[in-house]
Amino acid sequence: MPARQAPLAEILDALADERTGDAALQRIDAIRREIAGAGVFSIQRNVTTAEDPPGEIRLRRFYSSEGGNYPVDGTKRKTLTLWTECLFVRGRVFVGEGADTLARHFDDYAQMQRWDLQSFINVPLMRDNVCYATFNVFIPRTRWQAHEILGIRVLALAAARWVPAAPDLSHRFSDSSHPDSLEA
């Protein structure tokens, strides 16, 4: 359990003083540890292009608290699932609790088991009704507390200014005013 919980206003004020993305994300990572304790934190950019197959999303890691095991610039593909629909089609936060939920939604679950990760929060970073990145926190506990979920969501909003959208992402979606399509 974290030793101290800083008020969210204090956190946001401190982040406003950062001048580089790397420094801001490192500070966000430290605050994330205060809020939720041990775990893994990453940000995945949506780098899907018109050349990618319809119904697939390509993600590239932009930040990782554990770069040795989850390196920055690592990529993965996701197909349309409950997880991708929640984040990329509906623009909604996905909270998963328990190892069985983690295993159902992540094909790299075997790697996560080595860290004893059991629960997660994925927050979509949105621009013009398009999820351009996800803010991801994984913990070695089976349950989240309400204040942790709120704190992680606020941190995701604070991090959004430091995460650039992929240049041609908006061309991936056939109708940006209708967020129910993943088709090119």
Return the domain boundaries, the chain. Answer: 8-163
Give the CATH class of 8-163. alpha beta
Kindly give the confidence (pLDDT) of every residue in the chain, 184 residues in length, as a single tens digit, with 9 standing for 90 and above: 443 455 667 667 767 777 788 889 998 999 999 899 999 999 999 999 888 888 899 999 999 998 877 788 888 999 888 999 999 989 999 999 998 998 888 887 777 888 889 999 999 999 888 899 999 999 999 999 999 999 999 999 999 989 998 876 655 544 443 344 444 3
The whole-angstrom separation of Cα 135 and Cα 22 is: 15
The whole-angstrom separation of Cα 152 and Cα 12 is: 12
User: Does the CA dihedral 165-92-152-29 come out positive or negative?
Assistant: negative
- Please, are residues 39 and 137 in contact by the beta-carbon 8 Å criterion? yes
